[in-house]
Structure formats: structure tokens, C-alpha cells
């Protein structure tokens, strides 16, 4: 345990872009390069539907260099009637000395961890947590959902949480992984992780929900309907300034703005301004429709895997709040209460509630978050109290 904690703490202390200015690409680290070489040597490891991305810096409307090899999972055949090629982008960080094509007794399948991104995030935003996990012996997969980041921006896809969960499960299956993964999701990724665990309880070892959305039913609380055209217009009007203003107020309230926050806004802006921006705006409008129409809180009592909820009490995320009347706005986004309600609803859950954090604790306090993450993946959270977190722990 102490070895794992040391690795994770050390990983958190390393800047993801130590020598790169805000507007440049992430620099690939040596450990990932070594792993990429191992993966490249075993291209036939799984199926014809898994292959490295061509021109990975600028693909599917997103011109941004990733810190590790970008792979595609072609899931077209799993979507009946699709007339589009559907490619799900992902990074696959293999632990040292593990080769997925080697069946030798000393090459046992490692524990896999899935890291699921939020609406305003992509795979690289998990990288500071992923690399120390990789070095500690875990296989870490960072998928990007259809309509996001490096994945296909479909024009005819029906966005719903169950289909996204199924896409993720099929990716894991295509990679030949047989052990149930630890599923970790942030924001929209937390909402999706919940649906994954509900849909595939037998293939979820445990669940970690980091500032998940879906903890309240916004439409039930009075958020009015909004037309698809207006939702698309909202996405079209998104700029660097609007993203930074929103994230500063919601993700990092009260914190001084730093380059570590800014680089992710710059990254996201590149998708909004990319050469497939019209498709992206429409897909994101469909995602908002999905989020409003499919809250997960009503199904929390059916979640079977052991679950850790991580909530920042300064978080005030509420989709639809901005177009709601004042009396509805006042009721939404009270995460100090929502976290406790969600914990009470999930049969086997632990809550860690931070009074000083907002919507992105893994970015605002990466060293602390990686210690918390280490406790969860290694001991199921039994050592949480020993971490001496500035948080309330509710078991």
C-alpha cells in the first residue's frame, strides 16, 4: 500500500506540461513512450476493430496532440443501421512488462481501470491520475465517447447513457479484458459510470464517482424545456472567455486561476473551433438533451458495486440553470446536500465531501486526489481516515 501511495503522490507532483506553454501540445513522457512501443509491437492483440489513429494530432475535428498513442475502436458494426463509420478514440496505458498477447504464466492480466471524462473534458485531463496508476501496475484505459474530443462526431446517432455504456463495455471486450474493471467517472463521466454499473454490474469491480452530475432531476425541479435549435446555438456561442468564466465560477470557485486550469480550457476551445465544429455543436446539444432527460439519481438504489462518491461542496453545476426562472435556480446545485442524498441512496457507498472544492477536485488538488484514488483502488477506501483529508467522510 505504501509503495502505491508513494507512486501516486509522486505522479501528482509532476506537471503534465512542464515545458509547454498553455497553447501548445502535451509532451509525451518516457514511460508512456515505452508502453506505446510495447503496444505497437502487438498490433494484432485483439481484433481488426482496434487500430492506431491516422494523423492523431488532428482527427475528427480536434487538432490537439495527446500524451500517449491514440487508438480507435471501430464500433460501427455494433450500432444497427448506422450509415456512418463510428470510431471511439482511447488511450491504453499498459503497466510495465505486461504484453496483452503473451499468455505466459508470469504475464497475468492486470487490474484494469476505466477513467471516464466529463462534458467539458477529454482523455488527457485524467493523465496526471492515470500515469501513476500505470506505473503501479494497473492497466488504465481513457476512452472518449462518441461526439467528444478525438472520437467521431456523428450526425445520426441517438445519444443515451445506456448506449454510451454499451460502447464502453464493448471496447473493453474488444481489448480482450476479462477481469471486471474499476470504473471511475467525473461529471458527465460519473453519470455514465453509474449507468455502466447499473447495466453491467457483473463487469464492474467497483465504482468511483467524482463530482457526478445526475444527482438531481433538473426537469422535475422545474428546468424548462429548451429547443434543439437553442441548445445548438448555446454550443455555437461558446468561446474561450465563456468557458473560462463558467469553469472559474463552478469548477474552482474562490481559487486563483492557474495555468493548470487554463490549459484544459484552451484544449476544449480547440474542439469548439475545430474543422468539424458544426457537428460538435449539434452532438453536444444532443448530450444536453440526454443529461436532462436521463437523471441517474432515481436508479441509485439499484447500484450493486461498492461505490465511492467524491463531492466538492462549492460545486454548483446544474444543467439548465442558466435558462431557468430565479425560483428554480435557487433550488439547484446544492452539492453539500446532494452528495449526502446520493450516498444514502446507494446501497454500498462511502462519501468524501470537501467543503472547499468545486466541480473538479482531481485538477484543483491533484496530489490530494491521487492519495484518495490510491486508497480506493488498493483497499476499497478502508484507509481513507488515515489520509487526514480536509473533508467529511460518511460511511
Which tens digits make up the pLDDT trace of 125-174? Answer: 999 999 999 999 999 999 999 999 999 999 999 999 999 999 999 999 99
User: What are the beta bridge partners of residue 142?
Assistant: 91
User: 9 by DSSP, 3-state: which?
Assistant: helix
For residue 368, give every residue at least 6 positions away whose Cβ sits within 8 Å of its Cβ, in sequence order, or none: 361, 389
Q: Give the H or E element holding residue 73.
A: strand 71-74
Residue 262 neighbours by CB under 8 Å, 6+ apart: 22, 244
What average pLDDT is seen over the chain?
90
Q: What is the pLDDT of residues 351-369, one digit of tens each?
A: 999 999 999 999 999 999 9
Q: How far is CA 379 from CA 72, 139, 223, 382, in A?
A: 32, 17, 40, 6
pTM: 0.89
Q: What is the mean pLDDT of each run of 10 residues along the chain (395 residues)?
A: 37 29 33 45 60 94 97 96 95 93 87 98 97 96 98 97 98 96 98 98 98 98 98 98 98 97 98 98 98 97 98 98 98 98 98 98 97 97 96 98
Give CA separation, 279 vs 148, 166, 275, 276, 337, in Å: 10, 22, 9, 6, 37
C-alpha to C-alpha distance for 312 and 377, rounded to whole angstroms: 20
pLDDT tens per residue across span 54-102? 899 999 999 999 999 999 999 999 999 899 999 999 999 999 989 888 8
Element (H, E) at 102: none
**Grid cell at residue 384:** 481513507
DSSP-derived secondary structure letter, 224: P
Amino acid at each position: 500500500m505504501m509503495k502505491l501511495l508513494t507512486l501516486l503522490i509522486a505522479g501528482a507532483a509532476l506537471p503534465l506540461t512542464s515545458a509547454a506553454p498553455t497553447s501548445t501540445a502535451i509532451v509525451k513522457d518516457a514511460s508512456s513512450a515505452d508502453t506505446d512501443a510495447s503496444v505497437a509491437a502487438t498490433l494484432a492483440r485483439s481484433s481488426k476493430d482496434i487500430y492506431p489513429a491516422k494523423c492523431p494530432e488532428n482527427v475528427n475535428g480536434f487538432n490537439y496532440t495527446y500524451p500517449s498513442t491514440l487508438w480507435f475502436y471501430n464500433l460501427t458494426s455494433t450500432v444497427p443501421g448506422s450509415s456512418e463509420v463510428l470510431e471511439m478514440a482511447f488511450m491504453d496505458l499498459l503497466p510495465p512488462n505486461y504484453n496483452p498477447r503473451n499468455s505466459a504464466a508470469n504475464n497475468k492480466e492486470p487490474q484494469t481501470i476505466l477513467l471516464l471524462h466529463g462534458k467539458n473534458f477529454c482523455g488527457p485531463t485524467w493523465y496526471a491520475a492515470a500515469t501513476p496508476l500505470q506505473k503501479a501496475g494497473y492497466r488504465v484505459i481513457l476512452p472518449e465517447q462518441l461526439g467528444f474530443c478525438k472520437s467521431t462526431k456523428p450526425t445520426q446517432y441517438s445519444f443515451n447513457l445506456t448506449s454510451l455504456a454499451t460502447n464502453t463495455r464493448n471496447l473493453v471486450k474488444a481489448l480482450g479484458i476479462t477481469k471486471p474493471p474499476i470504473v471511475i467517472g467525473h461529471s458527465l463521466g460519473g453519470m455514465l459510470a453509474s449507468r455502466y454499473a447499473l447495466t453491467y454490474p457483473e463487469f464492474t469491480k467497483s465504482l468511483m464517482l467524482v463530482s457526478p452530475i445526475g444527482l438531481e432531476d433538473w426537469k422535475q425541479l422545474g428546468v424548462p424545456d429548451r429547443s434543439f435549435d437553442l441548445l445548438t446555438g448555446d454550443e455555437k456561442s461558446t468561446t474561450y472567455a465563456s468557458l473560462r468564466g463558467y469553469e472559474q465560477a463552478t469548477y474552482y470557485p474562490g481559487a486563483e486561476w492557474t495555468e493548470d486550469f487554463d490549459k484544459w480550457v484552451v484544449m476544449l476551445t480547440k474542439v469548439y473551433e475545430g474543422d468539424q465544429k458544426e457537428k460538435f455543436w449539434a452532438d453536444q446539444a444532443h448530450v444536453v438533451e440526454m443529461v436532462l432527460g436521463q437523471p441517474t439519481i432515481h436508479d441509485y438504489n439499484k447500484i450493486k458495486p461498492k461505490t465511492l462518491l467524491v463531492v466538492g461542496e462549492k460545486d454548483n453545476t446544474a444543467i439548465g440553470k442558466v435558462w431557468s426562472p430565479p425560483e428554480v435556480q435557487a433550488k439547484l446545485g446544492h452539492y453539500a446536500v446532494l452528495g449526502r442524498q446520493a450516498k444514502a441512496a446507494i446501497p454500498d457507498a462511502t462519501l468524501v465531501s470537501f467543503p472547499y472544492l468545486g466541480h473538479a477536485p482531481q485538477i484543483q488538488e491533484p496530489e490530494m486526489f491521487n492519495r484518495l484514488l490510491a486508497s480506493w483502488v488498493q483497499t476499497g477506501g478502508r484507509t481513507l481516515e488515515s489520509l487526514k483529508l480536509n473533508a467529511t467522510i460518511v460511511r
